[in-house]
Amino acid sequence: MDSMGGGDQVKLIMSFGMIVIGIFSVIFLFYTNSFLMKRRKKEFGLFNILGMDKGNLAKVIALETLYTALISIAAGLALGVLLSKLMTLVLYRMLDFKVPFGFYVSWQSMLYTAALFAGIFLLIFLNGIRQIHLAKPVELLSGSNAGEKEPRARWLIALLGLACLAAGYYIAIVTKQPLQAMIYFLIAVILVIIGTYLLFVAGSIALLKILRANRNYYYKTKHFTTVSGMIYRMKQNAVGLANICILSTMVLVMFSTTFSMYIGLDDGLRSQYPRNLSVELYSADTDQCDAWRDTADAVAEKQGIEQKNRASLRYAESDVTVKNGRFRVAKQLSYSASDAAMVIFISDDEYNRTQHSDISLAEGEAMIYSPQANFTGKTVSFGDRDFRVRKILKKLNARISVRGNDIINTYYVVLPDDDVLKEVYTSFMNTDWQGFRYYYGFDTGASAAKQIKYADAMSDKMSQMPGAATYGAVNSAEKARSNFLTVYGGLFFLGLFLGILFIMAAILIMYYKQISEGYDDKERFEIMQKVGMSREEVRSSIRSQVLTVFFLPLAVAAVHIAFAFKMITRLLMVLGLTNETLFAWCTAGTIGVFAVLYAIVYILTARVYYRIVR
C-alpha cells in the first residue's frame, strides 16, 4: 500500500482502529466474564462444600480458561486470516485502489493479536481466582442472588453524575470554534461517559425512590409493582444499561459521521476548493495578477477546457484576534482560541469589479462581510486606525479558499482604495508591503484527466515564474480527490467495522442481561402470583419493566447525540465537511435504522427471557 497515494494515511487510520479494538476487547471480555462468574458462583460454592478446596477450584478455573483461550485464539486467528482478504478487498474498493493479486498473511500481526488475547485471558483468570479466594462458601452459594437487599439512594453520586452530564452538554453547546471542538471534545466525551454511568447506577435509583415517596403516584397497582420492581432491576443492571447506552452512542456517532463524510466527499472538496481549478499568487503586483489570469485562460483555451463560474480576488490577509470590532495582529495565532480570526482586506475597486457594483467608499469608511461571525458592530479598528462600518454585506460572490477559511471566523473588509489598503496593512502588521495575494479560479465540465493535465501544465509555468519575491500555487480539486477519498473512505471503513463490532457487543450484553433477568424474575413471578396478582397482571408488570429498562439506553443515547450534534458538526468542519444538512439527515437515518435493529434484538432476546420465566 505504500506505493499508492494515501497509503500512510490509511495505515494511520487503521492503527488507531487497532488501539480502539484492543482497549474495547479488554473491557468487553471482562464484562461478559462477570456475567458467567455470577451464574457459576453457586456451582463453585457447592464444589467447595463437597470437599474441593480453593486451590482445586483455582485449577478448574485455570484449565477452563486455558482451553477457552486456546480454542478462541486459534479459531479467531484462523477466521481472521480467512476474512482478511475480503476486508482488504472491501477497503480497496471503497478507496478506489487497484486490488493487488496474491494472498498475504502478516505473521507479526498474528503474534501481536495472540499475545494481546493471551494477556486478556490471563487477567480474567487472575480476576476469577481473586473472587473465589475472597468469597466464603455461603457467599458463593448465594452469589447469583447477591444484591437482593434494597439498594440505597446515593444522592451525592447521583448529583455528581448529573453535574458531569450537564458539564459535558454545556461544553458541547457553547464550543463554537471547530479547532476548539477538537480540544474539548474528548473532555466532553469523558464527562458524559462518567455522568452516564453515575446516573444509571445512582441517579435511576434516586429517581425511583422519589416516585415511591409520592404516595398518590406509588400506591396504585400498576405503579406499585413497576416502581418496586424497577428499583431492584436498576441495581442489578445499571452498569450493563450504561454500557449499552455508551455503545449505542458510539455506534450512532461513528456511523453518522463517517457515512456523511464518505457520501459528502464532493461537499468536502467544494469546501476546500471553491472552484475546480484555481491559481493563487502569494506576493504579486497588479500587472502580475492580470498576466497570470491571461495565462490561465490561454492554457485552458489551448487544452479545450471550458471555463465556467470564473472568480478572482486581489487581496491582503492577516491572522488576527478580534474583540468588539477591534482587530489586533497575531504573530503566532492559536486557531483554537475563541477570539482567533482571519481578516481579508480588499479595495472598493476590487469589490466593484468582482461584485458588478458601483460603490465608492469615503475616507474612514469600510464595509465588512463575516459569514461565520455574524458581525453587528458600527466600527472596526486596525491598530490605531478606526473605520465606520458603512454596510454589513450579506454575501460575497468571490469567496475564496484561504487558510482556515472554514474553521475560524473570517472577516472580509472592504477599504476605500489600494493606497488605504496598503497603508492600513503595513501599519497594522508593522511590516513593509509585500504585495497582493491573488486568487483566480473557475469551474469546468472537463474530465478529471483533463483537469489534472491542466493543473500540471500551470504548475510547470508557475515553477518558471521570474522574480524571487513572487510565488504561488495551482490547485485542482480532482488532484486532491484521491487524498480526500483515502481519508474519508478509510474513516468510513473504520467506522463501519467498529460500528458492527460495537453492535455485536451490545447485542451480547442485551442477551446476557435478558438471561440474568429471566432467572431473577422467575422467582419474583411466582411470589407476585402467590400474593394475589393474576398471571396477566404479573406479565403486564414485568413486561412494562423490561421494556422500560431495555429501551432506556437507546433514549439516553439519542439525547447524547442531540446535545453533541453542534460540536460534531464543528469537528467535521476541520475534516472538510461543512454540509450540516447532510450530516443531520445521516444522523436521523442512523438513529432510525439503529432503533429498528434495537427493536428486533429486543424481540429475539425477549423470547429467551419469557421462556426462562415460564
pLDDT in tens, 45-78: 777 777 777 778 788 888 888 988 899 889 888 8
Amino acid (1-letter code) at residue 306: E
Cβ proximity of 250 and 437 under 8 Å: no
pLDDT band at 463 (very low <50, low <70, confident <90, very high): confident
pLDDT-wise least confident of 79-93, 378-392, 417-431, 463-477: 463-477
Q: Which residue shows C-alpha cell 483455582?
A: 58
pLDDT value of residue 334 = 57
Q: Residue 13: which of 94, 98, 106 has the closest Cα?
A: 94
225, containing H or E segment: helix 221-263
* Residues in CB range of 379: below 8 A, 6 or more apart: 325, 386, 387, 388, 389
Q: Which position has the higher pLDDT, 93 or 7?
A: 93
Q: Which residue shows C-alpha cell 473557475?
A: 442
Number of residues assigned to the chain: 614
Cβ proximity of 238 and 200 under 8 Å: yes
pLDDT per position as a tens digit, 330-366: 665 555 566 778 888 999 888 888 888 888 888 888 9
Cβ proximity of 57 and 132 under 8 Å: yes
Tell the burial category of 325 from Cβ atoms under 10 Å away from its Cβ (0-12, 13-18, 19+): middle
How far is the C-alpha of 200 from the C-alpha of 223, rounded, in Å?
20
Domain ranges of the chain: 1-146, 151-276+475-614, 277-474
Amino acid (1-letter code) at residue 181: A
pLDDT per position as a tens digit, 238-273: 777 788 888 888 888 888 888 888 888 888 888 788
b/e sequence 366-398, b meaning 16+ C-beta within 10 Å: bbbbbbbeebeeeebbbeebebebeeeeeebeb
Q: Residue 362: which of 432, 406, 447, 420 has the closest Cα?
A: 420
pLDDT-wise least confident of 468-472, 521-525, 560-564: 468-472
Q: Residue 502: which of 12, 109, 11, 23 has the closest Cα?
A: 23
Cβ proximity of 351 and 367 under 8 Å: yes
pLDDT of 149 higher than 60: no
pLDDT band at 469 (very low <50, low <70, confident <90, very high): very low
pLDDT per position as a tens digit, 399-441: 554 444 566 778 889 999 888 888 888 888 878 887 888 888 8
Name the average pLDDT for the chain.
78
Three-state SS for 106?
A: coil
Angle (CA) 132 137 139, round 5° = 80
Residue 312 has a CB neighbour count (10 Å cut-off) of: 22
pLDDT of 453 higher than 60: yes
User: 210 — phi, psi (to 5°)?
Assistant: -65, -45
Tell me whether strands 409-415 and 472-476 are parallel, antiparallel or unpaired: unpaired
pLDDT value of residue 328 = 79
How far is the C-alpha of 317 from the C-alpha of 237, rounded, in Å?
58
pLDDT per position as a tens digit, 175-189: 877 767 777 888 888
pLDDT of 31 higher than 70: yes
Share of the chain above pLDDT 90, in %: 4
* H-only helix segments in 264-305: 265-272, 286-302
Average pLDDT over residues 466-472: 56
Q: Dihedral sign, CA of 584, 589, 590, 594?
A: positive
Angle (CA) 186 192 194, round 5° = 105
pLDDT of 222 higher than 70: no
Share of the chain above pLDDT 70, in %: 80
How far is the C-alpha of 399 from the C-alpha of 393, rounded, in Å?
13
Q: Which residue shows C-alpha cell 396504585?
A: 220
Tell the burial category of 494 from Cβ atoms under 10 Å away from its Cβ (0-12, 13-18, 19+): buried
Model-level pTM greater than 0.75? no
